[in-house]
Structure 1
Amino acid sequence: MSDIKMLYTQFQAKKFLTTFCGSRNWVNSMMKDYPFRNKTSLYRSAKKSFAQLNNKDWLEAFSHHPEIGNMKSLRKKFSSTKHLAGKEQSGVNKASKETLLQLAELNRAYKKKFGFIFIICASGKTAEQMLDSLEKRIKNDYNDELRIAAKEQEKITLMRMSIEKV
């Protein structure tokens, strides 16, 4: 393969990996194992790369997510991942106005307390279930919540990888 074609392929791979997780260090770590032989090697690399992230990396990854329930934010800011995040948050579409207002209010309080948005693997969850998780997790201390949010980020990423044709 020519050097130019290889560079283009690597650029495309980095761009594609960013749709799974927005941490640059995670993507760079993944690229060390590129090209991936199969999905198993992709997942193995993802898990290894997650283990190398620090708090700053996790916060960067979180910044690539729309707030739970904020469909306007999803459409505007996150157009490159809206096909994934929209499916993940589909439980919000059926929520009552009251539940959506509670989600919005608690999202603001959560972000004020922790400095990052509420991260949850929303796939298959109703808005009420997400609200219940948010109500419980807002009581955590910073370190516990960062650890929980990081685990949720891992779940989201691995789920996205399983959906996309890789």
Structure 2
Amino acid sequence: MNIEHFNNLAFEHRRALLLDCCHCTRWAERLLEQGAAESVAELQQRAADAWQDLRESDYLEAFAAHPRIGDLRRLKEKFAGAEQGQVAAADETTLGELQRLNDAYFDKFGFIFIICANGKSAREMLAAIRTRIGNSRTEELRIAAAEQVEITRLRLDKLFAE
């Protein structure tokens, strides 16, 4: 799809496509309120800018739509398989540790571990969660929000590559 095709879609269809890229209602609405973008690059910039002006509750809405890294049952149900890096090929010990730390992370922060997993091995993600679980909630929310920006960028790229 190109940007012109996207701009000519019905409002609800554009909204649904944006929510597929980042499941945050306020974020999608802000982008749509700005009207048609002239290029994918402009839409990408608007997307990043709109994300920065949101509240914690908006971030948590987006985070909640992600599968947990290491939750194989849910990963198989989601379209996001490619975004989950190489988790599916990981050994059971690594996956078990990812699951355990995901649970501990959620218990500590109140949201799932968010990482742009594209191209990362399960061991790399395990190392990241081990490091990040020691952060404060404020710091971790900031990091997770930045990771979401990258995930959204990749999803928008994929949308416009189709």
**TM-score (normalizing by structure 2):** 0.90
Q: Which position in structure 2 is the counterpart of 1:30?
A: 31
Give distance in 1, aligned partners of 2:128 and 2:71. Answer: 17
Query: Over aligned residue pairs, what C-alpha RMSD do you find?
Result: 1.7
- Confirm whether residue 97 of structure 1 aligns to residue 92 of structure 2: yes
CA distance in 2, matches of 1:50, 1:95: 32
The within-5 A match list for 1:46-57 is 46-57=47-58
Partner Cα distance (2:99, 2:118) in 1: 19
Equivalent pairs counted in the alignment come to: 155
CA distance in 1, matches of 2:117, 2:35: 29
Q: Which residue of 2 aligns with 1:116?
A: 111
The counterpart of 2:127, out of the listed 127, 132, 148, is: 132
Q: Which residue of 1 aligns with 2:70?
A: 69
4+ aligned runs moved over 4 Å, structure 1: none
Amino acid at match of 1:70: D
Deviation at 1:72, TM superposition (A): 1.2
Q: Any conservation in 1 of the 2:40–2:160 contact (CA below 8 Å)?
A: no
Residues 135-150 of structure 1: pairs in structure 2 closer than 5 A: 135-150=130-145
Q: Does 1:160 align with 2:155?
A: yes
- Aligned residue identity for 1:26: W
Post-superposition offset of 1:41: 1.4
Identity over aligned residues, as a percent? 38
State the alpha-carbon separation in 2 of the partners of residues 51 and 96 from structure 1. Answer: 37
- The offset of 1:74, in angstroms, is 2.6
Query: Which stretches in structure 1 are left out of the alignment for 5+ residues?
Result: 1-5
Instruction: Give the Cα separation in 1 of the matches to 2:13 and 2:155.
Output: 17
Using the size of structure 1 for normalisation, the TM-score is 0.88
